[in-house]
Amino acid sequence: MRRTALLVSTALLTALLPFAVARAADNDPPPVPVDRFEGEVPFASQPAEGIFTWGGDSDDPPALRLAARSDAPEGAKVLAGTYDISGYGGFTHDYAADAPAHDWSAHKGIRFWWDGQDNGKKIAFEIKDGGADGEASELWTTSFTDDFTGWKQIEIPFTDFVYRTDYQPVGGIDHVLGLTQMWGYALTLPVGVKGEFAMDDVELYGRADQSLRASVTTDSAVHPVREGGTATVKVTLATTGSAPVDDPVTVHYETAATGTATPGKDYTPVSGTLTFPAGTASGATRTITVPTLKDRSAETAETIPLKLTVTGAKPPAETPQIVIDAHGLPYLDAKLPLGKRVADLLSRMSLAEKVGQMTQAERGAVGEGADVTAYDLGSLLSGGGSTPTPNTPAAWARMIDGFQLRARATRLQIPLIYGVDAVHGHNNLAGATIMPHNIGLGATRDPRLAEKTGAVTASEVRATGIPWDFAPCLCVSRDERWGRSYESFGEDPALVQSMETIIQGLQGAPNGRDLKDDDKVLATAKHFVGDGGTEYGSSTTGTYTIDQGVTKVTRQQLEAVHLAPYRTAVERGIGTVMPSYSSLDILGDGQGPVRMHARGDMINGVLKGRMGFDGFVISDWNAIDQLPGDYPAHVRTAVDAGVDMMMVPYGYKDFTATLADEVEAGRVGRKRIDDAVSRILTQKFRLGLFEHPYADTAGASRIGSAAHRAVARQAAAESQVLLKNAHGVLPLRKNQKVYVAGSNADDLGNQTGGWTLTWQGASGTHTQGTTILDAMRKDGDVTYSKDASAPTAGYDVGVVVVGETPYAEGVGDVGNGHDLQLSAVDKAAVDKVCAAMRCAVLIVSGRPQLIGDRLGGIDALVASWLPGTEGDGVADVLYGKRPFTGQLPVTWPRSEAQLPINVGDASYDPQFPYGWGLTTGTKVPSGGAATLKALGSAAAAAERAGADSAGRALVTKARLIVQEKVGQGITAAIAKPFADADHLSLTGRYGAAVQKLTEAYRVG
């Protein structure tokens, strides 16, 4: 069936295709084909022109084919496909990158035929404007709904497209849909359902008018003003390419009586017309003023819509609103006690407003933020990699201020609380100071340093307008096959507890008095409880093997291992707690495995009840969707279990409607809702958000500063654990010729690991920092060959930096495409260099790597963990500027078959025990057994006196004596008491610790 046959008459077309659109007007230019799907555009990718698929993972891209169809609207073939998408997926037609971009500016819009399946799903349609090529262009988007059956021609005027705010591949180009340099289009298919589709004949249609090239915008969608003040709204003309307008543009304005403010009582109505004459340049601005009136009554906020009618240009996407600020109400009085402010505000809230406060959405889901107002949302977040464009401190602050402005348009003007996963520095921000991951901080055994890293993180996060950090992770990692193990400070709850000084770095004083400061943030203890103890093979999430699985423990084990860090966190005043995705199976309680988001006995009973936690509980990302039952059951179960705020990134509309229905039906109690909202409001008041909702960027100049990087450098240095040092290979000397090799020597992305700029992280350079190689070049005579292919003769020593590439969460689980072995390339580099010269091997990884088969050929071995952006810290210990002082925060296994293996196990025979760590900066005390005896007596005395610093120093001396004697002859009989000693030292039992070390010494 040919186009000519279809267009013989409107009557015939309508009979054949009941949803077809009318024929274009006679004065329109002829349609311009973009895709006929007859094979003229191949399935290919850049730089050639082509159609290609994409998706969130390997299963998400749709399967496409050119299918012969007798009912094809044009030609003989159509583009057909099937899809089953869990994350995101679709396809793109990109023009060739090595050819000029196309000019679509003469046309009204783009249209195509779609074979409707009547599934009610929205399909996003995107066009690519400006930039270098199809993959470096501005993305403009709209959507249509598949709510019909059979072929229908979908016409989309270019005026319907809006700039994408959730994702842009490059920095903003000009935020104007130019249409003169177009690189193609893309379709995003529905998620969560299996489906099929067919489309045909993509073409440009119609004649462009000036409204495609000119638009009228206002400086904001919301204009708050104090009662009695005058609101000022700036109206700006913008044109494609900044060309003057050919025809006049008029803007008629009038205050509409449809708002909550009363004309004549709350404001003076205004109306009029603004004119931009022909020839007006782009960027010209006019001003509208609206006077408000003052009375003596206390009031909530009131709105005045400003209706704009535009001729000759595209109107603003939204009707701007003037908001007369709430005033005179007790909750707004900063002098009142916090409890009275909370109670007063709560008493004024509707159910919808309360439900909104319990809701957290992803920034990418709310676009410019109108839904913040519409749904009274209490919180937004950035998931991993969800950043503004460009990714700068100023852009973060502008974005968050824009969202806070939306909250000002709500009746009670309750500010948003914005959250982000800053788990090792402000890791979503390009150029921020990136700390070692927690496993490296655990290796430092330095609580004061942990507090400093938290303070740096808080300072950089708050300076971008973010008051809430989803950190620290207080998991006690018991199995290094877990993809989140690097988020843990270690395998010993005593070590985790000792490093919780980071909470004071983030929040300040335990009573919350510092939270209002411009360099503090609300912290989050996660993931409550037992996430680090999940059993290998118990996960039911996709291809995960251990993450989000089941933790099986006795009640005693639960209390001693996994709950202990939360007792400390509550004592330190932690502001929020996040439950774990995982399930908890307490042996003997008869419940079996229960998802933590459903365990009211633990959240309400233990955390809020017994421990006295007075902050609020925030769910993990879409975690309630993993609970049993239908969606109302998910909501009801989690709220009743004690979860106060739900992280429902893209499902906030369903959540708010469902929770309100559950309350109205009496299935969720209003008292429970009030408790949740009171907890949330309390933290917002403590943060000072009611007085200062917008970003305080005074500290932005400190982001990535030398002072902040000095803290990260110190942390990187102290995190380095020297496991072996035969022949005194380390520290290196400046006059040595050093041969450097290995995949992780010069890769900042591998060095920083997951949760860096994106959720999973990535290899390569994507932020600012110093690689280990670059740092070494500052200190010595270095030659680099990544794969050790360069000649190895003539060098004094080799340094081979190997290890893992980035991952996060269950994606990084061993068995899910990962293992604990070095790559074949890394093994080859180690073998070649270490066979040619004395060598030191550095392992940059989130967990121990199995190295035992090569240990004999390696002179020095260093666990470098994931040191962050400051490779100088690693070079500092390599070249002796700082001593090696780090100790293993986890047990280093001999084989994967040993896992899980942890300090305190009855059977314990590791490659290196928990707590092991040689030093290059302290002379080992002489005297052997006699010295140990004396150290034991002194340690016991220090313990009795409560002299913790002295006690720890005495234990360290004893440890060094044992390590020197044992060397690499570590046996089970040595390893067990050695590891036990470190645990005892962390719990303040210094005399017993030296006794255990003495036991190891005697065996050795």
Dist CA 666 CA 456 (whole Å): 46
Dist CA 949 CA 961 (whole Å): 19
Sheet holding 222-225, edge to edge: 222-225, 321-324, 302-311, 249-255, 271-276
The residue behind tokens 């202990």 is 564
Helices (H), 365-491: 370-374, 393-407, 438-444, 447-462
User: Nearest Cα to 801, choosing from 817, 780, 823, 819?
Assistant: 823
Burial of 395 (0-12, 13-18, 19+ CB in 10 A): middle
Give the count of beta carbons closer than 10 Å to the beta carbon of residue 367.
16
Answer for the pair 509, 517: CB distance below 8 angstroms, yes or no: no
Answer for the pair 567, 576: CB distance below 8 angstroms, yes or no: no
For 609, how many CA atoms within 13 A lie in the half-sphere containing its CB? 9
The angle formed by the CA atoms of residues 366, 367 and 373, to the nearest 5 degrees, is 50
Query: Residue 286 has what DSSP assignment?
Result: E
- State the Cα torsion 127-133-134-140 to the nearest 10°: -30
Catalytic residue of the set 362, 809, 813, 870: 809
620 is catalytic: yes
Q: For the chain, first and last CA: distance in Å?
A: 88
Dist CA 764 CA 753 (whole Å): 11
The amino acid occupying position 569 is A
Answer for the pair 889, 443: CB distance below 8 angstroms, yes or no: yes
487 is catalytic: no
Dist CA 658 CA 412 (whole Å): 23
Give the count of beta carbons closer than 10 Å to the beta carbon of residue 983.
21
Give the count of beta carbons closer than 10 Å to the beta carbon of residue 560.
15
Dist CA 149 CA 578 (whole Å): 45
Answer for the pair 649, 383: CB distance below 8 angstroms, yes or no: yes
Answer for the pair 519, 697: CB distance below 8 angstroms, yes or no: no
What is the SS3 assignment for 900? coil
Dist CA 181 CA 496 (whole Å): 55
Catalytic residue of the set 74, 203, 535, 620: 620
What is the SS3 assignment for 765? coil
DSSP one-letter string for 433-466: PBPPPHHHHHHHT-HHHHHHHHHHHHHHHHTTT-
Active site (catalytic) residues: 620, 809
